Amino acid sequence: MKSSFQDEVRELMKKNRRETDGYEYTVPSPKSYPYQWLWDSCFHAVIYSYIDIEAAKRELESVVARQFENGMLPHMIYWEKVDGMLDIEWGKEDTSTITQPPIIGYAVCKVYEKSGDKKFLEKIYPKLWHYTRYLLNDRDPRGNHLIGIINPDESGEDDSPRFDVPLGLPPKHTLDENFKKRLALVEKNKACNFDAPFCMKNNFWVKDVPFNAIMVEHLYRMQDLADELVRAEDKEYFSEQADKVKHAMREKLLENGVMWPAYSEKYIKMKVATWAIFAPMLGKIYTNSEAEDIVENYLLSNDHFRTPFFLPTVSKSEESFDPDGFWRGPVWIFTNWMVYRGLLEYKMYGVAEQIRNSSMQLINKSGFREHFNPFTGEGQGAHNFTWGGLILDM
Ligand code: GLC
């Protein structure tokens, strides 16, 4: 890693860092996203683990500080309200009332690996344990071993076309139409009194592929952390749960070698080809031959994901594909990071390297932007956006 890139990341993170009430956290983009987000802060901790280990610990301590009584970690914390922002009424004063994918196990492991700080681990572990139990219980009330999400925003990919069908939207629609549907779900969540398992599941209940793949990875990392803390029972529990989620994904989401998200309790598959089909490489949920086929038939195929800049979030073959849309085509560095890490599991180093190089080219060409046009590499969305720093972990 060239030190100049590291210096640029350090500079960016410093500018986006905030302190409120003794809590230190980093905003993803000062103008567009001036609050704390759950998965963003996990990415930040991973980034900080390469440049400022103390900042990494503080970032994670603040992101778990507003954990709900039932164990849920809210996806947003409004430490300080910023004037002029379009704020959603989530039903709580200083947090949102939905969650985001559990990258937190990976992030805590990374920080522990680099710091060896057992006190930090002992302090944060119960919060992670509680959150993990929440996901395994409240988000899977029938014990099917797949985690359900109650709003597309919980996937972290707000407008992804994976969710068009359960939202009742056609492949082409406006940002506003999409936003209204998601807001309606927020209203329903309030009316449900934030009861996911018995109430919200009747409105929107998607077993998404990346969320569940990240869950498998999270459970493996929880297993490692339990081991560090000599908690044999926990270790066994997390390992069993990881196997169960993995097995359920294969049983309920796999069709002809490809995993698709499913909605409703009937497990209706939504076969929209997005980058999500590669997500189960993380956690090694595909077999070797399934992973090889999917890389050849989709990732490297001109009909699907091969573009001058890797990796579009939606296949070019989809009617919904829009190289300038929000989560509907552009390249995001997080999705690249996740596919990169998945490819490593299968020792596909060459393709992984192509993804890493492409990510670096995008930042060199267009700076720290939120997402990028996969044909031209042009930067789009928020400026001074932190996720580019994830290349340090690639
Ligand atoms: C957007 C993204 C979401 C992210 C948030 C803050 O809503 O879709 O994934 O957490 O911005 O960066």
User: Would you place residue 3 in the very low, low, confident or very high pLDDT band (cuts 50, 70, 90)?
Assistant: low
Tokens matching residue 286: 């595909």
Grade residue 265 by pLDDT with cuts at 50, 70 and 90: confident
Tell whether the model's pLDDT for residue 146 goes beyond 80: yes
Looking from the CA of 394 toward its CB, the CA atoms found within 13 Å total 31
How many CB atoms are closer than 10 A to CB 18?
A: 16
Q: 173: CA distance to ligand 1 center in Å?
A: 20
Tell me if 33 CB under 6 Å of ligand 1: yes
Distance CA 42, CA 284 (A): 21
Q: Is 139 exposed, middle or buried (0-12, 13-18, 19+ CB in 10 A)?
A: buried
**Predicted model pTM:** 0.97
Q: What is the pLDDT of residue 84?
A: 84
Provide the residue range defining the domain that includes 166: 3-393
What is the predicted pLDDT for the residue at 263?
94
Mean pLDDT of 230-234: 98
Whether the per-residue pLDDT at 193 is higher than 60: the answer is: yes
What is the predicted pLDDT for the residue at 301? 98
CA distances (Å), 356 to each of 54, 107, 216, 337, 394, in order? 27, 20, 23, 8, 6
CA 308 to mean position of chain CA atoms: 24
pLDDT digits (tens, 9 = 90+) for 8-38: 999 999 999 999 999 999 999 999 999 999 9
Q: What is the pLDDT at residue 85?
A: 85
Q: What's the confidence (pLDDT) of residue 70?
A: 97
Phi, psi of 186 (to 5 degrees): -65, -40
Task: Quote the pLDDT of residue 264.
Answer: 85
From the CA of 385, give the closest atom in ligand 1. Answer: 12
Q: Is the CB of 94 under 6 A from ligand 1?
A: no
Is any ligand 1 atom within 6 A of the Cβ of residue 28? yes
Is the pLDDT at 2 greater than 60, yes or no? no
Calculate how far, in angstroms, residue 192's C-alpha sits from the geometric centre of ligand 1: 24
pLDDT in tens, 309-319: 999 999 999 99
Q: How many domains does the chain have?
A: 1
pLDDT for position 381: 98
Would you place residue 147 in the very low, low, confident or very high pLDDT band (cuts 50, 70, 90)?
very high
CA 292–ligand 1 middle distance (angstroms): 30
- Which positions ≥6 away from 80 have C-beta within 8 Å? 18, 20
Nearest CA, atom 2, ligand 1? 156
Which of 158, 335, 369, 371, when mutated, tests ligand 1's pocket best, judged by the most ligand atoms within 8 Å of its CB? 158
Whole-angstrom distance, CA of residue 261 vs CA of residue 211: 10
- Return the pLDDT at 253: 98
| 334 in contact with ligand 1, CB cutoff 6 A | no
Share of the chain above pLDDT 90, in %: 95
At 151, which CATH number? 1.50.10.10
pLDDT tens by residue, 278-300: 999 999 999 999 999 999 999 99
Distance 237 CA to ligand 1 centre (A): 31
Report residue 266's pLDDT band, with 50, 70 and 90 as the boundaries. Answer: confident
Predicted confidence band at 344 (pLDDT cuts at 50, 70, 90)?
Answer: very high
Question: What is the spatial distance between Cα 147 and Cα 272, in angstroms, rounded to a whole number?
Answer: 20
Q: What is the rounded CA–CA span in Å between residue 168 and residue 107? A: 35
Does ligand 1 lie within 6 Å of residue 378's CB atom?
A: no
> pLDDT by residue (tens digit) across 114-145?
999 999 999 999 999 999 999 999 999 999 99
> What atom in ligand 1 is closest to the CA of residue 387?
12
Mean pLDDT score, 171-176: 98
Which one of 25, 32, 40, 214 would you pick to mutate in the ligand 1 pocket, going by the greatest count of ligand atoms within 8 A of its CB? 40
User: pLDDT at position 321, please?
Assistant: 98
Atom of ligand 1 nearest to the CA of 326: 8
Average pLDDT over the chain, rounded to an integer:
97
Please say if the pLDDT value at position 304 is more than 80: yes
**From ligand 1's centre to the CA of 156, what distance in Å?**
6
Ligand 1, atom 4, residue with closest C-alpha: 156
- Given a cut of 90, whether residue 104 has pLDDT beyond it is yes
Give 39 Cα–ligand 1 centroid separation in angstroms. 8
SS (H, E, C) the chain: CCHHHHHHHHHHHHHHEEEECCEEEECCECCCECCEEHHHHHHHHHHHHHHCHHHHHHHHHHHCCCCCCCCCCCCEECCCCCCCCCCCCCCCCCECCCCCCCCHHHHHHHHHHHHCCHHHHHHHHHHHHHHHHHHHHHCCCCCCCCCCECCHHHHCCCCCHHHHHHHCCCCCCCHHHHHHHHHHHHHHHHHCCCCCCCCHHHCCCEECHHHHHHHHHHHHHHHHHHHHCCCHHHHHHHHHHHHHHHHHHHHHCEECCEECCEECCCCEECCCCEHHHHHHHCCCCCCHHHHHHHHHHHHCCCCCCCCCCCCCCECCCCCCCCCCCCCCCCECHHHHHHHHHHHHHCCCHHHHHHHHHHHHHHHHHHCCCCEECCCCCCEECCCCCHHHHHHHHC
Cβ 326 under 6 angstroms from ligand 1 = no
40 close to ligand 1 (CB < 6 Angstrom): yes
Residue 64: per-residue pLDDT: 98
pLDDT in tens, 348-386: 999 999 999 999 999 999 999 999 999 999 999 999 999
Q: Which atom in ligand 1 lies closest to the alpha carbon of residue 327?
A: 8
- Examine the pLDDT at 1 and tell me if it is beyond 70: no
- pLDDT band, residue 201 (cuts 50/70/90): confident
Distance 75 CA to ligand 1 centre (A): 9
Residues 6+ apart with CB under 8 A from 353: none
Kindly state if the Cβ of 372 falls inside 6 Å of ligand 1: no
